[in-house]
Amino acid sequence: MSKPVRVAILFSGRGSNMETLAQHLAKPDVPGQFVLGVSNRPEAGGIGLCTRANIPCAVIDHKAYDTREDFEADMQKALASARIDLICAAGFMRLLTPEFVTHWHNRIINIHPSLLPAYKGLNTHKRALDDGAKQHGCSVHYMRAEMDDGPVIVQKHVPVHADDTPDTLATRVLAQEHVAYPEALDIVLEKLASQQP
């Protein structure tokens, strides 16, 4: 029996995707273990989720650093000390340097609220509505140096309704994010678990 894959979750906000992943990783048949939360915002609501779940949480405030490299160096220390195998970015609102992403090649995944490669970046729901898109959704992908780039693992589609607002569309997409991320995580965990000694 291979050891469980040790997972860190990066987040900046309330942590709804992190909570979904944490519940999934707590299942006995999932070959991963949530061992570290990392937040770049001391006021992030997700920190409380980690506390309640007894998961260590490293709060590394990006505003306390002069450069992204210094910020990421401390993040790397926290990840290394927790012996992390896989990083899940879940609402982590910082662009990571190419060096960081390359170091974690195929061991860092991200969720994005659009059907990539459409609508990279911010305000995806408003942009989809402004374009008159008939379909919208979310993508879980392997992170690459370019923003919101990399091989897609799972996508979920959501129809766009004539009376949608960015908020109503966001609510339906978020519900699908909570389906897509555990599915994608299972695919990646299976690959990583098969490579474990």
Across residues 1-29, what is the average pLDDT? 93
Across residues 35-50, what is the average pLDDT? 97
39 within 8 A of 46, measured Cβ to Cβ: yes
pLDDT exceeds cutoff 60 at 168: yes
Tens-place pLDDT, residues 99-143: 999 999 999 999 999 999 999 999 999 999 999 999 999 999 999
Across residues 75-99, what is the average pLDDT? 96
- Assign 1 a pLDDT band (cuts: 50, 70, 90): very low
Mean pLDDT, the chain, whole residue set: 96
User: Residue 117: is the preceding peptide bond cis (ω within 30°)?
Assistant: yes
Domains with residue ranges and CATH for the chain: 5-111+141-148+177-195 (3.40.50.170)
Q: Does the annotation count 112 as an active-site position?
A: yes
CA torsion angle 75 79 80 81 (round to 10): 100
Of 90, 80, 57, 65, nearest to 6 (Cα)?
Answer: 80
**For the whole model, what pTM was predicted?**
0.95
Catalytic residue among 24, 62, 112, 157, which?
112
Across residues 141-169, what is the average pLDDT? 97
Q: How far apart are CA 164 and CA 174, in angstroms?
A: 14
Tens-place pLDDT, residues 173-184: 999 999 999 999
pLDDT given for residue 193 in this prediction: 83
2 within 8 A of 197, measured Cβ to Cβ: yes
